[in-house]
Structure 1
């Protein structure tokens, strides 16, 4: 009887989460980064502009552990905190003053 019920079910096909939805960190892979960010927020009376570096590190951890889609940090609002790509440093002309 249970076999007849299983014949009509479709196989489960996992798919990546929709943009903007974040899987839970079940294994605590980014817990230390989250705690560091939350502590910074509490110390700074929840002024998130003072905790941007901690936020960036937390998001990088989530991307590295496939807990969110990989996005360029510039798109996430961290252009000022990213390192200058080596090609731009090499192409920069020295100033002659």
Structure 2
């Protein structure tokens, strides 16, 4: 299903506030509801596990991250704030990289 291209949201560069704003806009477009940054998007029971996977794909494509393994926990996707925190964590360079 194609989405309209009238998404006038600034490009999210990495500031947690910008990421939250973009995610709230995305959630509103996809659900037709307005959300607060700390609202549990799955707590209402209206969103499915398929929607959770759509969120994973959106985060990966929009922010150039890879969500894998332990990061695929529902708590990382419950709120726009938790998703923004996940993006921030995954975009940071690994401490003490392999150096090999």
Give the TM-score, by structure 1 length: 0.31
When Rg is computed on C-alpha atoms for both structures, the one with the higher figure is: 1
Q: Which has the higher contact order (CA 8 A, sep 6+)?
A: 2
Give the TM-score, by structure 2 length: 0.30
